[in-house]
Amino acid sequence: MNVAYDQELRSSAITLNGRSVCIVDDDKLYCGHLASLLKQEHIRTMEAGDSATLVQVLEKEMPDCILLDYNLHAENGFRLHEQLKLRFPDLAPVIMLSADESQRTAIKAFRMGFYDFLPKRNLRLEEMTSVIRKTIVRHESEVARFAEVSALRKKAMFDDLTGMYCRAELDTKLAHVATSAIKFRRDFAIFSICLADYDAIGTNFGIANADEVLRSFAGKIRSTIRSDDFCGRFDEDSFRYVMDRNVTEDNILECQRRLMEKLTFSYHLKSVELQISPLIGVAVSSEHADLAGMMQSLAVEQGHQRDALRAQSNPNDWSALPETLADTGSGVTEARERRKSLRMRTLKPAFIAIEEWSSKISCTIRNISDGGARIRLDQPLALPENFLLQISGSGPLRPVRKCWHINNEVGIEFSD
């Protein structure tokens, strides 16, 4: 059944008798007018004239729906809505009331997460109750669906992103292995495997790209482990690989070697080539009193590895893809310079000064790194190999060298 049609049927079936609505408007007369209209449908109403009063009302009782005015004296309805969502995780659905009936305001309200939009002028009871009814039905459907998905995720054996066992299933299997090891007096080993630069990738390139790298990392783990062992995602960027058959020193060392070799690779992310490497630790049951001791040992070892990595790594040591010629889509072949440091996408005004000239040439910085930048001229112009560049109209003139120049695009290297 069509979702919108299904919600329409359910909204017509529910009654508003006994439901509660909070009206937020600094006009007391208008607020009272809406309250008297809603009481005709036996709807309980609460009233607030500003954000402070509204917070007090919501802390006492969360209504089924909120009617929020766009302008509350000096307060903006959009900003207040964002603040309410941060303060109240279970915030009731909010409908915007506004004297501004422009399409632009309504579109912005929907984009900002409001459930619906009601014009204040000539607002009729039938229109208002219809919107409130649909809003309540939609919100209750979303809450029920979220609860169902959360329950399914708790029961799920596998992690959505990596395809590995999820944390709950991993803990269950680990407990079973530990119990069997005691019963049959045999050893087992747990390897901690961590994607070393997950946080740095997320910071510089976004969480979505970091997750793509993590998915590739997990796939390489799955292709490396033995068929009678198992592995699961332990936390955001690390895994636990369990070996409980033929646990010998030689097999543990061989496993570490295979993992290190397989999980050290290059990952091409847009124009940057990331050098991926793992942090690997191991704990053997014969060296610890119990499973908790093994997990604690792995956590401490992983912490030391992270500290050592931070101390010796350079956050800008990712290099660009090898120099190639790329088609820009307009028939122009564009050169890509080699970058030995992280390029940051930016858009800043700048100007070029050439020593023999007294004039300044305006330009725009498109991308920049510690080693150089990509600049765009207002129009194609011949430039010498070496000139001076000043960014954002402040700071010193920096000597630069031209690496490539196509039409009004120029790649430069900082000479200082």
- The residue out of 128, 152, 176 marking a domain boundary is 152
Mean pLDDT of 76-94: 90
278, 397: one domain: no
Please check whether residue 134 is in contact with residue 7, taking contact to mean a CB–CB distance below 8 angstroms. yes
Q: Which amino acid is at 27?
A: D
299, 175: one domain: yes
Q: Which residue has the higher pLDDT, 6 or 385?
A: 385
Render pLDDT for 18-53 as a digit per residue (tens, 0 to 9). 899 999 999 999 999 999 999 999 999 999 998 899
Q: Which residue has the higher pLDDT, 340 or 334?
A: 340
Band (pLDDT 50/70/90 cuts) for residue 313 is: low
Does residue 334 register a pLDDT over 50? Answer: no
Does residue 407 register a pLDDT over 80? Answer: no
304, 175: one domain: yes
In a domain, 283, yes or no: yes
Using alpha carbons, select from 102, 106, 94, 112 the residue that is nearest to residue 23: 94
174, 72: one domain: no
Mean pLDDT of 314-320: 46
Mean pLDDT of 139-143: 91
In a domain, 157, yes or no: no
Does residue 146 register a pLDDT over 80? Answer: yes
Render pLDDT for 347-381 as a digit per residue (tens, 0 to 9). 678 888 876 555 678 888 877 777 888 888 877 77
Strand 230-233 to strand 238-243: parallel, antiparallel, or no bridges (unpaired)?
Answer: antiparallel
Band (pLDDT 50/70/90 cuts) for residue 319 is: very low
In a domain, 338, yes or no: yes
In 277-416, which ranges are E strands?
Answer: 278-284, 319-320, 325-327, 333-335, 344-353, 360-368, 372-377, 386-391, 398-406, 409-414
* Tokens (6 digits) for 387: 């000139």
- The residue out of 152, 182, 208 marking a domain boundary is 152
Does residue 153 register a pLDDT over 60? Answer: yes
Percent of the chain's residues with pLDDT above 90: 37
In a domain, 160, yes or no: no
Q: Which residue matches tokens 């509204």?
A: 54
296, 328: one domain: no
Mean pLDDT of 317-341: 41
Using alpha carbons, select from 116, 112, 105, 106 the residue that is nearest to residue 138: 116
CATH number at residue 282: 3.30.70.270
Determine the pLDDT at residue 206.
81
Lowest mean pLDDT across 17-21, 111-115, 287-291, 358-362: 358-362
Does residue 161 register a pLDDT over 80? Answer: yes
Band (pLDDT 50/70/90 cuts) for residue 343 is: low
Does residue 204 register a pLDDT over 90? Answer: no
176, 242: one domain: yes
What 3-state class would DSSP assign to 112?
Answer: coil
Q: Which residue has the higher pLDDT, 284 or 361?
A: 284
139, 218: one domain: no
- Can you tell me the distance from the alpha carbon of 109 to that of 104, in angstroms, rounded to the nearest whole number? 9
Render pLDDT for 217-249 as a digit per residue (tens, 0 to 9). 999 999 988 888 899 999 999 999 999 888 998
Does residue 335 register a pLDDT over 50? Answer: no
238, 326: one domain: no
Q: Phi first, then psi: what are they for 9, rounded to 5°?
A: -65, -45
194, 242: one domain: yes
Does residue 85 register a pLDDT over 60? Answer: yes
In a domain, 158, yes or no: no
Per the structure, the complete domain to which residue 260 belongs is given by: 167-312
In a domain, 106, yes or no: yes
- The residue out of 93, 117, 152 marking a domain boundary is 152
Side by side, the strands of the sheet bearing 20-24 are: 44-48, 20-24, 65-69, 94-98, 116-119
Q: Return the biggest CA–CA distance within the chain.
A: 87
Using alpha carbons, select from 281, 185, 171 the residue that is nearest to residue 230: 171
0.85 cut: is pTM over it? Answer: no
Does residue 167 register a pLDDT over 50? Answer: yes
Determine the pLDDT at residue 271.
61
Determine the pLDDT at residue 362.
81
Determine the pLDDT at residue 371.
80
37, 148: one domain: yes
CATH number at residue 100: 3.40.50.2300
Please check whether residue 190 is in contact with residue 171, taking contact to mean a CB–CB distance below 8 angstroms. no
Lowest mean pLDDT across 259-263, 331-335, 393-397: 331-335
Q: Which residue has the higher pLDDT, 321 or 368?
A: 368
Mean pLDDT of 76-82: 88
185, 284: one domain: yes
CATH number at residue 393: 2.40.10.220
In a domain, 64, yes or no: yes
In a domain, 161, yes or no: no
Determine the pLDDT at residue 155.
66
Please check whether residue 115 is in contact with residue 95, taking contact to mean a CB–CB distance below 8 angstroms. yes
308, 328: one domain: no
In the chain, the number of structural domains is 3
- Can you tell me the distance from the alpha carbon of 120 to that of 182, in angstroms, rounded to the nearest whole number? 72
Does residue 133 register a pLDDT over 50? Answer: yes
Mean pLDDT (the chain, rounded)? 82
Does residue 325 register a pLDDT over 50? Answer: no
Q: Which residue has the higher pLDDT, 348 or 299?
A: 299
